[in-house]
């Protein structure tokens, strides 16, 4: 009996992570919350702004994500300072490493642009020694983020109950395609979510089929929602001391971004949507929100207009908003000064039924100028316009390079490439974009420095095959 106890104690000792990584982040205020503005905050830092760590310094993420939705979430957290440990399948890794490959033998841009600032460890989660490492990670990390197909994490043996038992402070954050309900078991990709979340039915032209949008609102949009859920759960944990589950369904995330269309669904039951060009064209509305082409989603009519060069340049267009307070300035610019006082044009209500003709007249003017000339002239008099920027123009835009929104990164196997940096700019938490990790690049340092495994244990785990690709004959078997 005594021997058994000793062995158990020994096992527990060897399994424990290194001391310096064992602590869960907590605010010094957690014990004694006081009332009043800032009364419970720690002493104010005397270091210069940007020199006292990052917003999420001290937070460790077990990043079990793949493809796009999950990785966008953990990349944001990593930019904000979290230590993101990406767990990948030995030999293969995140499937995107090998998708849309442009440089033979190198990780694809699909992967590199979604996995900056992370560390990579390879673990076969279905191998007992692999599970040993995963459990050690669960005990050490603050958050587990995953976007496997429904049930996959449970099938690995990592149920919420088990994780919560191993580490009651751990936050378990998931992206799934659908929330609980008839579709909860479905696998979901970007465009499935765009369709199921209401975006596709409201995008495109009335006469045409539903359209998906180029913005990855299903994947990246949901990753963004999940990141907010995680940060909020970390904040709540400072008070409660315990972890919780955070779930964002892609359908829900897309719908949240389409809320103005659910607004219009309720308005349509009360009468026509007068700001839709369909109304000014005299086309009756059906029972649900129609596709509205390039109509503005708000109360200010807008449309995309041709600019000089449109015949050969597919992006020589500008979005033009006929905002009521600048109507007079618009009339002066386009050479229709009488419209300022003509009762047929002077008020938004009078203009509504003739919007198509009004935009056609404005377009006669925009077609005489480049989109940048229109931008300059309009901004001078506060008319909101948006040039249609091509990806080439965005990639070459000096101001975006200056702010770190577009960044050049060097990578050991693919060389230099461009990526989108952190769009969230914080004065005391400055993001640097670090290249994505090679597959399993940090396996040893995570085993030793993070988890505190001894050399003989590392050898035992490695020799078991839990961290390496299955041998060819095993694969074939």
Query: Among residues 109 and 326, whose Cβ is nearest to ligand CAO?
Result: 109
Phi and psi, residue 173, nearest 5°: -115, 130
Query: Among residues 19 and 472, whose Cβ is nearest to ligand CAO?
Result: 472
Residue least distant from ligand CAO (Cβ): 149
Retrieve residue 322's tokens: 């006929």
Retrieve residue 36's tokens: 């009043």
Cβ-in-10-Å burial (0-12, 13-18, 19+) of 26 comes to: middle
Least separation in angstroms between CB 157 and ligand CAO: 10
CA neighbor of 174 nearest in space, from 157, 190, 151: 151
Q: How far apart are CA 108 and CA 112, in angstroms?
A: 6
Pairing of strands 143-146, 385-387: unpaired
Interface with ligand CAO (CB under 6 A) = 67-70, 87, 89, 123-126, 147-149, 152, 155-156, 175-177, 187-190, 219
**466-468-473-474 Cα dihedral, nearest 10 degrees:** 20
Least separation in angstroms between CB 223 and ligand CAO: 9
Least separation in angstroms between CB 88 and ligand CAO: 6
Q: Is 94 a catalytic residue?
A: no
Query: Among residues 124 and 295, whose Cβ is nearest to ligand CAO?
Result: 124
Least separation in angstroms between CB 65 and ligand CAO: 8
Query: Among residues 124 and 275, whose Cβ is nearest to ligand CAO?
Result: 124
Q: How far apart are CA 295 and CA 99, in angstroms?
A: 36
Q: How far apart are CA 465 and CA 91, in angstroms?
A: 11
Least separation in angstroms between CB 375 and ligand CAO: 34
CA neighbor of 404 nearest in space, from 418, 391, 387: 418
Least separation in angstroms between CB 467 and ligand CAO: 10
Residues belonging to the chain: 477
Query: Among residues 68 and 278, whose Cβ is nearest to ligand CAO?
Result: 68
Query: Among residues 187 and 239, whose Cβ is nearest to ligand CAO?
Result: 187
Sequence-distant (6+) residues with CB within 8 A of 223 are 68, 69, 70, 71, 72, 73, 75, 76, 175
Helix (H) or strand (E) holding 153: helix 152-156
CA neighbor of 339 nearest in space, from 68, 86, 330: 330
Sequence-distant (6+) residues with CB within 8 A of 56 are 77, 80, 81, 82, 231, 234, 429
Which listed residue (219, 252, 264, 295) is catalytic? 219
Active site residues: 219
């Amino acid at each position: 009996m005594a021997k058994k106890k000793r062995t158990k104690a020994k096992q527990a000792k060897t399994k424990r992570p290194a001391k310096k990584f064992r602590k869960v982040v907590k605010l010094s205020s957690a014990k004694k919350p006081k009332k009043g503005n800032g009364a419970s905050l720690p002493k104010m830092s005397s270091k210069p702004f940007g020199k006292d760590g990052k917003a999420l310094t001290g937070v460790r993420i077990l990043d079990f994500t793949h493809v796009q939705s999950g990785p966008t979430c953990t990349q944001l957290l990593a930019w904000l300072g979290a230590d993101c440990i990406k767990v990948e399948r030995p030999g293969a890794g995140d499937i995107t490493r090998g998708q849309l490959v442009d440089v033979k033998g190198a990780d694809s841009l699909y992967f590199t642009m979604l996995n900056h600032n992370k560390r990579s460890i390879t673990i076969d989660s279905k191998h007992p020694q692999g599970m040993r490492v995963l459990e050690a990670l669960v005990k050490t990390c603050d958050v587990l983020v995953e976007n496997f197909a429904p049930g996959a994490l449970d099938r690995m043996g990592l149920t919420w109950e088990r994780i919560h038992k191993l580490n009651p402070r751990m936050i378990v954050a998931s992206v799934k395609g659908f929330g609980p309900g008839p579709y909860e078991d479905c696998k979901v990709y970007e465009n499935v979510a765009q369709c199921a979340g209401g975006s596709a039915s409201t995008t495109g032209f009335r006469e045409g089929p539903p359209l998906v949008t180029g913005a990855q609102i299903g994947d990246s949009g949901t990753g963004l929602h999940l990141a907010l859920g995680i940060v909020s759960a970390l904040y709540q944990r400072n008070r409660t001391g315990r972890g919780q589950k955070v779930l964002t369904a892609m359908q829900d995330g897309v719908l949240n971004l389409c809320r103005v269309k659910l607004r219009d669904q309720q308005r349509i039951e009360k009468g026509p949507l007068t700001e839709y060009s369909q109304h000014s064209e005299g086309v009756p509305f059906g029972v649900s929100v129609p596709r509205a082409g390039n109509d503005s989603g708000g109360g200010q009519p807008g449309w995309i207009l041709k600019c000089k060069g449109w015949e050969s340049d597919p992006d020589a267009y500008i979005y033009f908003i006929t905002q009521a307070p600048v109507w007079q300035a618009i009339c002066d610019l386009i050479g229709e000064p009488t419209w300022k006082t003509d009762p047929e044009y002077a008020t938004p209500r009078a203009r509504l039924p003739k919007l198509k003709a009004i935009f056609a007249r404005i377009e006669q003017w925009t077609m005489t100028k480049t989109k940048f000339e229109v931008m300059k002239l309009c901004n001078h008099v506060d008319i909101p316009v948006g040039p249609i920027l091509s990806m080439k123009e965005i990639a070459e835009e000096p101001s975006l390079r200056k702010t770190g929104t577009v960044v050049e990164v060097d990578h050991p196997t693919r060389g230099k490439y461009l990526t989108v940096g952190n769009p969230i700019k914080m004065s005391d938490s400055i993001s640097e974009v670090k290249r994505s990790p090679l597959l399993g690049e940090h396996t040893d340092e995570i085993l030793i420095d993070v988890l505190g495994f001894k050399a003989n244990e590392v050898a035992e785990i490695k020799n078991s095959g839990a961290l390496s690709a299955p041998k060819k004959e095993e694969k074939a078997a």
